[in-house]
Amino acid sequence: MTNFKDMQPETLLAQAGGSIDMQSGGVVPPIQPATTYVRDESYNPLNENNIYARPHNDVVRQAEDVLAQLEGGTAGLLFPSGMAAIAALFRAVPSGGRVVIQSGIYWNTTKWVRDFCERRQIDVDEVDTSDAAALAAVCAKGPANIVWVETPSNPWLKITDVAAAKKAADSCGALLAVDSTAASPVLTNPLKLGADIVMHSTTKVINGHSDVLGGVLITKKITSVWEDIVTDRASAGAVMGPFEAWLLLRGMRTMALRVDRMVDNAMKISAFLDDHPKVDSVLYPGLEDHTGHALAKEQMPGGFGFLMSFLVKGDREMALLVAGKMKLFHRATSLGGVESLVEHRHTIEPHTGIPETLLRISVGAEHADDLIADLGQALGQ
């Protein structure tokens, strides 16, 4: 087998899952759908890694290994959705504990963590972690179990300093976990910046084709918390199936190419929107006047991502009119696919302070000129 350890991420990704299947000679990994595995006459497993499919499947492990290597982690665990990965981490917090989470992030994370922690008598502090001093102050209040950061954040595109967040987390004995979904492992590696755990919704750009739900946790070190998560996944059963893991590996093989093109498109689109008379402001860390630009440049050496929000001049009706006129951008939630999407976030979360004129776009892999023409006609030039 090829050792990808010394190679660039593009190479690891192009041959994700291993270069060849030794049994058949195929150039892609096989799928083993069996739910159970056989033992020999002496009752020893034929393959000691495989007893039962809930915790054991080769193609699931192959996808986990690729993701762990990409992020510079020791181990990775796939889950059937991003939320299942997030839930698995927070379920490792004991009753009576405390978690510090970033405010203004992926809404379902906030909602689930609030509900779960209330049921378990876990204190939740919500703070804008892009303000390093504010995060340090919240951590100084007392011990905590987890500090949860999302960078870039969704849909505000705030950038959190991961190294500073790690210091704050250390000061209260917490693990620093980073939701890096909007960045991708191609653009940044939070574990290398100091994070203890990185999480991705693999539903998004890692799979990249809007056709597989999944999530992953990757750890820097094997800790007792990590071992609890491994045990819990194996026995509670929030596992990804082999077909999904296989599709995920297939999608990952083109991730570097897709992300390159999407970031390129996003840079061009952000400049176009920034200059447009019908646009109030553009939230994209690639723009030089974005408050997190300098930090993003350091933390995201591969580029600033494919997600951005912009505020249309006028009111809610104007924003909805612009979204309604778009022809190439599909009006749909989610992000990170090869097809461009637009979303009016206020319709989804009206109570969280999202401006009524905000449109969030996930820039796909189409040609930038066509995407810009679509935005131009929708805004009315």
Ligand X SMILES: *Cc1c(COP(=O)(O)O)cnc(C)c1O
Which positions are catalytic?
54, 106, 179, 204
Of 56, 98, 158, 204, the residue at the interface with ligand X (CB under 6 A) is 204
**CA separation for the pair 224, 226 (Å, rounded):** 5
Query: The tokens of 214 are what?
Result: 């999944």
Report in angstroms how near the CB of residue 247 gets to ligand X at its nearest. Answer: 14
3-state helix, strand, coil in the chain (%, to 5): 40, 15, 45
Return the number of other C-beta atoms located less than 10 Å from residue 225's C-beta: 19
Examine residue 109 and tell whether it contacts ligand X (CB under 6 A): yes
Examine residue 81 and tell whether it contacts ligand X (CB under 6 A): yes
Examine residue 284 and tell whether it contacts ligand X (CB under 6 A): no
Examine residue 239 and tell whether it contacts ligand X (CB under 6 A): no
Q: Is the dihedral of CA 289, 177, 309, 346 positive or negative?
A: negative
User: Of 20 and 124, which CB lies nearer to ligand X in the complex structure?
Assistant: 124
User: Of 200 and 276, which CB lies nearer to ligand X in the complex structure?
Assistant: 200
The CB-nearest residue to ligand X is: 82
Residues 6+ apart with CB under 8 A from 316: 346, 356, 357
Residues 6+ apart with CB under 8 A from 156: 104, 283, 309
Query: The tokens of 324 are what?
Result: 């309604």
Distance of CA 163 to the CA centre of its chain: 19
**In what order do the strands lie in the sheet containing 341-343?**
279-283, 307-312, 358-362, 341-343, 330-331
Q: How many residues bind ligand X (CB under 6 A)?
A: 16
Report in angstroms how near the CB of residue 140 gets to ligand X at its nearest. Answer: 27
**Region near ligand X per CB under 6 A, out of 1-9, 77-85, 296-304, 350-358:** 77-85
Contacts with ligand X, 170-199, as mask; x by CB under 6 A: ---------x-xx-----------------
Examine residue 159 and tell whether it contacts ligand X (CB under 6 A): no
Report in angstroms how near the CB of residue 211 gets to ligand X at its nearest. Answer: 12
Residue 178 β-bridge partners: 149, 198
Of 14, 134, 213, 230, the residue at the interface with ligand X (CB under 6 A) is 213
Burial state string for 277-288 with b = 16 or more CB within 10 A and e = fewer than 16: ebbebbbbbbbe
User: Of 84 and 172, which CB lies nearer to ligand X in the complex structure?
Assistant: 84
Of 50, 62, 189, 203, the residue at the interface with ligand X (CB under 6 A) is 203
Whether the CB-CB separation of 248 and 205 falls below 8 Å is answered with no
Residue 160 β-bridge partners: none
User: Of 172 and 342, which CB lies nearer to ligand X in the complex structure?
Assistant: 342
Contacts with ligand X, 315-344, as mask; x by CB under 6 A: --------------------x---------
Of 18, 215, 251, 286, the residue at the interface with ligand X (CB under 6 A) is 215
* Contacting positions for ligand X (CB under 6 A): 81-83, 106, 109, 150, 154, 179, 181-182, 201, 203-204, 213, 215, 335
